[in-house]
Structure 1
Amino acid sequence: MLKKFIIFVIDDLSGSGTPEEMVAIDAFNDYLRDKGHWIFAGGLTAPVHANVIDNRNDSNFTTGKPLFDTKENYSGFWLIQANDDETAKRLAYEGSKACHRRVELRPLLG
């Protein structure tokens, strides 16, 4: 049974990928699709656009800012599927190489 994972791209606030990185990312995306690992991928806006919302107990609370105030953030992600943890880890290494950034790999629950 295939397991699902998320690969977060770790970035700083220096800007988006170079044209060369975008070519490598597109090639990695195509590889994921061709090999049946692809579920979904996307980029995220800068943290200044984040907003923590809490409506527990109808509190209707909003911070107007991200949860964490840090230089590093997640700038994108891949949702993938793989037969095992080692395959997912290998794909995370390839994703890191493609986007020329560190990544964080996490299995999804369930």
Structure 2
Amino acid sequence: MAEYLVLIYQDERMAGDTLAAESVTRGHQEFMTNNQAALRGGNAVEYSHAATSIRPDGAGGFVVTDGPFAETKEQIGGYYLLEANDLDEAIDRAKQIPMTEGGIEVRPIHVFTA
């Protein structure tokens, strides 16, 4: 079995709709119940204004700035780490994640060995 990181993107301006948020929350609870055996973790993340980005400054130090790494309309709203036999199975599971807008990105996890 392989692990996949499923990133959930959303337009934060649309996330404030209370009815949609309650519906999506119920949907995530159903997703977690239905995929419990495959889930290895997952959470929602705070809005992008709470992010802090760290980049090398080219001189051996770092530049620390407020805000997300990339300024885009859709930001990461949450993630799941799941186990699947292959990418097709991971995609099938990811399609079950509730969303009213935005999108989902599925990435295989590369496991480093010692």
Distance 1:108 1:61 in 2: 28
Identity of aligned residues (%): 18
**For structure 1, which runs of at least 5 residues remain unmatched after alignment?**
none
Please name the residue that 2:4 is paired with.
Answer: 5
Unaligned runs of 5+ in 2: none
- Is 2:5 aligned against 1:23? no
Offset of 1:93 from its aligned partner?
A: 1.0
Structure 1 range deviating more: 79-88 or 13-22: 13-22
SS in 2 for 1:76: strand
Write the letter of the residue equivalent to 2:54.
I
- Give the alignment's Cα RMSD to 1 decimal: 1.8
What is the number of equivalent residue pairs in this alignment? 105
Q: Deviations over 1:37-84 (max 9, x none)?
A: 010010011111111124676514212222111111110011000111
- Per mean C-alpha deviation after superposition, the further-off stretch among 54-63 and 41-50 is 54-63
Deviation at 1:27, TM superposition (A): 0.6
- 2:63 corresponds to which of 61, 64, 68: 61
In proportion to residue count, which structure has more strand? 2
Aligned to 1:83: 85
**d(CA) in 1 for partners of 2:108 and 2:100?**
22
Quick one: distance in 2 between partners of 1:65 and 1:10? 16
TM-score relative to the length of structure 1? 0.84
